[in-house]
Chains A and B, each alone.
Chain A
Amino acid sequence: MDVLDVALALFGLAFLAALVRVALGPSLADRAVAADVAFITAICAVAVLALKVEAFAFDDVVLIATLLGFVATASLAWLLGKDT
């Protein structure tokens, strides 16, 4: 039980809280914001896991996921502006 395990637990809690907001969220914008937070939390968890199991190839996943997260959020915003 060290700092990395505690950090993983905190990421898990944050991920669950954001997922609850994705499920509840009254508007599409709420869901987009909450999904963004959940995605960032998952990226952090992958980075911490890569350090914990010393599989540094997973840092590629972190880099690509930050790129993908921006594209996903931008396209959600475009969708939101198009029809609601």
Chain B
Amino acid sequence: MTIAAYALISFGALLMLLAGIGVLRLPDVFSRMHAGTKAASLGLACVLAGIALVTPDAVARVKLVVAIVFQFLTAPVAAHLIGRAAYRSGVPLFEGTRFDELSGAPDATSRAAKMGG
């Protein structure tokens, strides 16, 4: 049990480090979100699940599980909100972007208005 818990904690910690590096190094907002949201859902869930496995206090264990469930419900919603707001507010895309599948959508008109074109 302890070994499984420590493996989960290490995996989660490595995922968080990768997210930090990705947020620092990737070229535009959307690819940074791609790195960051993995840490927000899977990384946090792995770390908290590992801790819940070795925590002796039953009440604390329940709290950790509730935190995992809540994070899994809200992290995608928060990422979607940020991404949509970023696209609408005219944040520039990475110059190597091949497709902009939203280019005909109502969000794109708001984006074009914000960018002055």
Contact = CB atoms under 8 A, between A and B. Distances in A.
Interface residues of A, number: 48
A47 B48 contact: yes
Interface residues of B, number: 49
Interface string B20-62: 1101100001001100100110011001100100110101100
Contacts of B17: 10-11, 13-14
A63 B63 CA distance: 6
B85 A29 contact: yes
Contacts of A7: 9-10, 12-13, 47
A4 to B, nearest CB: 7
Contacts of A13: 17, 20
A33 B36 contact: yes
Contacts of A48: 9, 47, 51
Interface of A: 3-4, 6-7, 10-11, 13-18, 20-21, 27-30, 32-34, 36-37, 40-41, 43-44, 47-48, 50-51, 56, 59-60, 62-63, 66-67, 69-70, 73-74, 76-78, 80-81, 84
